[in-house]
Amino acid sequence: MDFFTGGQSVQIRNEQGVPYYRHQFLTRSPTDLTPLGENFILGNVIDAGFYVQDSWKIGAGWTLDAGIRWDSETIRDYSGATRLKTTDAWQPRLGVVWDPTREGRTKIHAFLGRSYYSLPTNIVLRTFGSRTFVTTFNFDPVGVAQDSNVPGHGLHRIQGGSSGVAVDDDLKGGFQDELTVGVEKLLRPTFVVALKGTYRRLGRLIEDRCDLDYNRPETNFNSCAIVNPGSDGRIARGQVPGCSYLDDSTECTETIPSTPRARRLYRGIEISSRKSVGESLWVQASYIYSSLRGNYDGGVSAIENQTSPGINVDFDYPLLYHNSYGRLYLDRPHSFRLDGYYATPIKLFVGLQGYLQSGAPQSRYGYTLFGFSDTQLVPRGTDGRLPTAWEANLTLGYPFAVGPLTVTVQAYVFNLFNNQIRTSRDDVWSSTPPPDYPASILDPNQERNNPEHGKATSRQDPRLVRASLKISF
């Protein structure tokens, strides 16, 4: 069940110095915008799976691990009809470990496997229910009627439909492949060093596109559809009626642009070491050099900070495909981490966890859809980086005896250095239509008209101190 107290969700916003209200509510259909306070949806998700795995000693110093997993997912809508079903999710995995010295001091290992993604149950409520999700803009804190005088938001926004979204032909599950190769060496009885390389590739994805013409039966009277982006499916290829949905324009055509293939590629090399001295000292350090490229951030979309896998904004509109391939939000070329623990001779124990990491790559967004700024004016992630982030956490503890009890006083200092380094900024370059709009909509040289561009929108948390008392007996 979805429910809005008062029948709607209301936000107060400001555009070009003009305050206005954004209303979001449920309606019966795209053509009947009467708000519904609640809408019961009886859809469900059924996941099934099995796996077989085993391990064999195939020779002196050799170990082989192998397995295979199969999954299926069935999604039914509010009427009980099966709308989406994946049964092709075969996932082989193979691992091998080799000790060339046969003395337990060296380990060379490799792993190759495939993993499928299950869609969250949220998709049942959001896409296969008998409802339409509407966003309107006006100057009334209560009324939901659209006001065409709101700057940049002269048109209401409709997503969904009374029959649930359409599903493309022969839809298949999304998966990722991974290859890992590494070596570990015991240099001393308590000193280990390791080197590991990792390659991960997104093979296929389930996502939605929302540029369909909801007035047509071919689209199930819905603006959105579930597709495998870049596939040969009819809707993914754009062989379906759709509309531009460019700002206040609703120009519709019999066919629309095809979706690009979803891409996400991670490559990384990690060096790590561990060292202990008796029971008093333990230290671990690691450094990763990596890259993350593609046009899909993952289950969490950085474009609008969405957390709705399967129905994020990444492939909703063709304008979002422009310059969409590049450095993804989690691309951090350099990442260093240090963890340590020391028990002093006077029983005081000290723990330290520190890190240093490259800042996130930044994009430059232009004014586009329904007054939002989502298009990439330059290739994704190429508009600089945030500052390098670093911090540390400190733990202190001291135990003392009280009769038969042991009382341990502990203190935790989070964000020890209180850096509060910037972790995000306003990436919107154009918050209002640029000159010659819409012809200039993708012009990378258009003048900046958002005075907030580049300003910090979040920082590291400030220093936080906590204390605890543990009693054991």
User: Residue 343's closest CA among 289, 418, 389, 282?
Assistant: 282
- pLDDT reported for residue 1: 37
State whether residue 182 is helix, strand or coil.
strand
Contact status, residue 312 vs residue 305, Cβ threshold 8 Å: no
462's CB contacts (< 8 A; 6+ apart) are 415, 418, 420
Position of tokens 């990491």? Answer: 357
User: Residue 372's closest CA among 316, 330, 293, 327?
Assistant: 316
Report pLDDT digits (tens) over 293-327. 999 998 888 777 777 888 888 999 898 999 999 99
CA distance 49 to 215: 39
Residue 459 reports pLDDT greater than 90: yes
Residue 419 reports pLDDT greater than 90: yes
- pLDDT reported for residue 242: 93
State phi, psi for 371 to the nearest 5 degrees.
85, 0
CA distance 83 to 211: 20
Report pLDDT digits (tens) over 129-188. 666 778 889 999 988 888 988 876 777 777 766 667 889 988 999 999 999 999 999 998
- Exposure of 472 by Cβ count < 10 A (0-12 exposed, 13-18 middle, 19+ buried)? exposed
Report pLDDT digits (tens) over 64-109. 999 999 999 998 887 778 888 888 899 999 999 999 988 889 999 9
- pLDDT reported for residue 247: 56
Q: Which helix (H) or strand (E) holds 125?
A: helix 122-127
Contact status, residue 98 vs residue 61, Cβ threshold 8 Å: yes
State whether residue 273 is helix, strand or coil.
strand
Structure confidence at residue 4 as a pLDDT band (50, 70, 90)? low
- pLDDT reported for residue 2: 44
User: Residue 237's closest CA among 247, 246, 245, 227?
Assistant: 227
User: Residue 180's closest CA among 285, 93, 262, 101?
Assistant: 93
Mean pLDDT confidence for 281-296? 97
